[in-house]
Structure 1
Amino acid sequence: MKKITAALLHFWETLFHGLRAGIHPVFLVFHHDVKLVFKNISTIIIAAGLAFLPSLYAWINIYACWDPYANTGNLPVAIVSKDQGAVYNGKVMNAGDEILAELKKNKSIGWDFVDEWQANYGLNQGKYYAMIEVPDNFSARLLTLTSSTPQKPVITYRTNQKLNSIATKITDAAKTKLVENIKSNFVKTVTSEVINTVKTEMKTTSLDASKIKELKTTLSQANETITTLKKYISTASTDSANFQIYLNKSSALLPKVNAQMSNLQNILSADRELAQNTETTIRSVSTNLNTDMQQVNLINQKNQQMLALLQQANANAISKDTLALMQQTTSICNAADALLQSDRTTLNALSQSYNLPALSLAADSLQYVDKLILNERDTLKQQMAILSVDASKEKTAKALTVLSKLSDSIADQLTALSARLATDTQPVLNSLISNFSLQLGNAGKIAQAENTLLPQMNALAAFNTASGQITSSQAAQLNKTLTTVQESLNTLLTKVGTITEEDLDYVTDLITNHPGEIADFISSPVTVKEVDIYNSSTFGVGVAPFYTVLAIWIGALLSCALLTVNFEPKQIGGWKLNLVQKHFGKMLMFLCLSLLQSMIIVLGDVFLLGVHPADFQLLLGLTALTSVTFTILIFTLVSLFGNVGKAIAVVMMVFQIAGAGGIYPIQTNPQIFGMLAPLWPFSYAIDYFREAIAGPVWSSVQHNVRAMFFFIVGFLLLAIFKKPFHLFTEKMEKIYKKAQI
């Protein structure tokens, strides 16, 4: 037991001596530096200057930004009104003059009322930050808002952004507020006029419960009328649907009808052509019959003349001329036969085609006459053969007698046939010609009717398509519209049903006795209630965290720049010093100076400027934490890297001013600053200073404090690399001295 106790005592004794040997020289270095500060008045003045100098940076900037918006009345803005005015309800209205009158009462901006030339000249020369011009038709256009064709009035706003970008933002806000006031005042004026008109009408018109009841009855009747109308539309829609089915069927048959009509046209065309040809043929037959009968009569007469010549000839000697005459007569008979054969064939064809017995009889008569002529021809041939062998007088006389009788018989038959053709055949042919003429006329009428019918049927098909699309859609749309109107009527009917006589009295009293309140409410129906969760009172209080943190950084950087961070003696008080002990010993002196600087800054913020923190003790504690963090960070950089470390500290400060969200929200900066913000101690220091001043959210305070401790621990551990970097730093210092920069 004694051995264990002795071992523990030895361990603690060894640990104590080890810690004492490591830490005690650090405090000896600190004590040495403190004595040097108070050794003479010069060092005291330098130390005091270093203590107070950073606070001036913070106080001056905070005071300059304390309440800039309270002094916007000093910003010169030119106002020009060229408004000619307008007449409304018999009253002259000049909105431009009203704007000038209102602005003369408004001291938030330095309004300067000048003419157009002075305003433009002053704006270009930098005398005015902005210019607002009311045009000559401003009132006239403003009053068009009460008409069916409104035109927006225009106010011209010009700025000189070259002078100051923030000033133009302030004047822009003033311009926006001016426009809002114009709108509000105009609506208030028009509403007042409307209410006064209603008030006048109410004096001449009594509004009581009986009229409300009449209104309810009227609305109910209108509702019932719409219901009935919807039923009619539904019935009409059903009839339209049935008619549509019929039209669809008609449209389906229309292609077939068109094809059949086309075939009918072809048939009519062929029939018309056939009828024309047939009519022509019949007319030709009629003409040919008359001509042929005349020709046959002439032939018979010639035969008789030739027979007479033969009888008068010398019976003793038949000359060659007699035989020649007989041969000529034979040829004439052949010609007559050809004519009669042609006419007979045509009459038989017509008789068979149209079943006309009269034509058949005429053809038979022609055939009979033709046989007689052929007999005469054959007899001539026989007599010519006889006479050519034996041309005695007796034989010749006998032959001539036979031929003469035959010729007389033919003449009689021709006479009878001509009479029959004139009485029986020719009327039949004339009737056929009339029938075919009538048939041609009917065919023409059919073709004309068909030409009229086809476009009408096509139009019916087009109507089918259009009516199918229009009628159904219009019926549905009308039904939908009526339903909407009916719903609105029902809603109105419900609301009217809730109106009581007390409500009417209240409305009457409101319009009669409180028109101003109504106009004011309509012109500005919404009032914004601003509630500040953390009231920073003025802009200066809002920027105090940023400038305070920046001043603490500048104080630590200034100390490291003006005072040496190296301890030259190799031992002190009998203790041999290493580089790490010298490093931390000198750091203690800088920590004390930075704490003094920071406390002066913060106490001046509170008691000189009037920044009233929500938690003063928290503010002091966070100030100390900020001072320690910044000093350790900057001192370590300068101690390890010398002048390079000072440059690094300056670069960090520049980035932190722009990208720590001190003045503008970090979200409004370029994205790169938002990405780098978590790397800067400024981000956390500014946040927890705001918490202490406006009211702490402890979770946020704890988060920021933890981040600052990470910086402290990280840069304390960097002191381990003091020895490796010491050689580099000394070498760089020698280079600077040698270069005499």
Structure 2
Amino acid sequence: MFLTEWKHVLHTKGLLKIILGILLVPSFYAVIFLASLWNPYANVRHLPVGVVNQDVPVTKADHHYQLGAKLTQQLVRNHSADFHRLTMATAQHQLKTGKIYMVITIPRQFSRQAATLGSAHPQVIKLHDQTNAGFSFIAMKMNTTTATKIQTAIEKQLTTSYLQTMGRNLRQSGHQLTTASHALAQTTTGLRAIATGNQTETTNLQQTTAGTVKLAHGLSQLKQGLAAAQPGFAQLTATDTALQTAMTTQNQALQQLKQALATAQPNLRVIRQQIDQLQAANRLKSTKLVAMNRQLTQQLAQGNQQAQTALTATQLGLAHLQTADTQLTTGSTRLTSSTQQVTTGNQKITTALKTGGQQLTTTGRRTTRQADLTVNPIKLSHYDATHVQNNGTGMAPYLMSVALFVGCITFNIIYDMFTPHRRPKTAGDWWAQKIPFLFEFTGLAATVMFVLLGLINHLNPLEAIRTYAFCLLTVWTFASIVTYFNLILGKTGAWLMLIFMIIQLGGSAGTYPIQLSNSFFQTLHPYLPMSISIDAFRSTLSIGNSIWPEITIFVGLIIVFNLLMLLTFHVNLPKLNQRLS
């Protein structure tokens, strides 16, 4: 009893293939669809993101800041996303056309603002990111997360740089204090030198005083010697005067003698008396002269000795004075050098302590704003140019396309699109009996879907009329494709369309960006009808781009597949007439 249906299936021509195909549908749906989005977050590195660097480098305190170029280089080399260095115009165009999903803009003041970090008046470092949620709401969310990660990474780098700068300032402060210590040691050495110089100066002054005393004593002795020799000089003068007088007298006597001798009768007795007087005078003069000469010699010798002693003492005093003067000059030079050393040391101490103190004060004095900006210096501003109100609006293009395709498959499975209800005269007549009804019914289904999305889900398209018009164009395109395969292959064709729909679910990038999928679906993506419909619905619902390329493709597909259906009706018309006759 339980095997009755299985026997029917096994013995009914073609039914086994249908049953086996239906058996595989859940597996195909689960395996194929999940394969397309098995691990999208692991492939975020393939998500295209544009980087626009408008930063202007600055130089501050002999340090060149070029953080915009550095950040751009780091992002391009990074693998957290597929970053591309772009100009602003190119980035905006690619964001609008869906070639990239986010633009990170580094503003002109980025380096200038970053250079203020750690100063008394730090500025918020701004970073801009722009997304286009109309192409993928999930991609926008992913990119926002990526931007937040970039913000965190930059903040970590800037905070690390600030801490390194603060450490460098502390090292400089320590160096300044060390310099002050060295200068203080030099000052101490200079003060010691000054003390030694003062002591030396005192000794030299004492020596100068002693030399001055000795000089004064020698001069006193010299004065006394000169005073002692003065009487001898006076006697010498008197003796010289007496000698001159005696000579004069002797000359007069000799003159008289010559006159007496010149007369004819000299008085010998008188001459003898005169000669005796002259001899007596000569002896007396000689005796006095010898005595006076001896006394004068003694006095002069004594005065000379006293003068010599005084001169020796004077020379010794002068030598002491000269030595003391030299030592005073040397000591004064050393004292001046030591004083200069102390002055220089004091200046170094003052400068080092002032600089080190300022650095320590600046480093240690942090306001709440400075502390906050030290930890969170980046302000990330997010902007999305599209009209995506929520996740439902972002998912609508995908689910609308899936719904319309599923509706066409369901219609062809339930409704017989092959058998005419009256004998067709031509293939065109056969087409006219079936296809207009197909378009009318599927068009009505698309209209009901669009209206209910607005009433129940509150879908608010950016361009409502174009969205509705493209719903009709999409359902007619899908209906043409599905009906054609159903006409030529029957239920097998419906099964193939079901598998094709599953493939489109994975390859149309309706949920996640196609860059997050595997290479198989990335290759199929541009050629899938649902990829085209999703792109067009994104434009009419949120973005506002032109959909003429998608319209052209779908109109072409409708024409091609309806011509193929005409050909199918033409081929099957003789068989149909034969069967109906």
Q: What range is the shorter-chain TM-score in? A: 0.3 to 0.5
The TM-score with structure 1 as length reference comes to 0.30
Larger RCO (CA within 8 A; separation ≥ 6): 2
The TM-score with structure 2 as length reference comes to 0.37
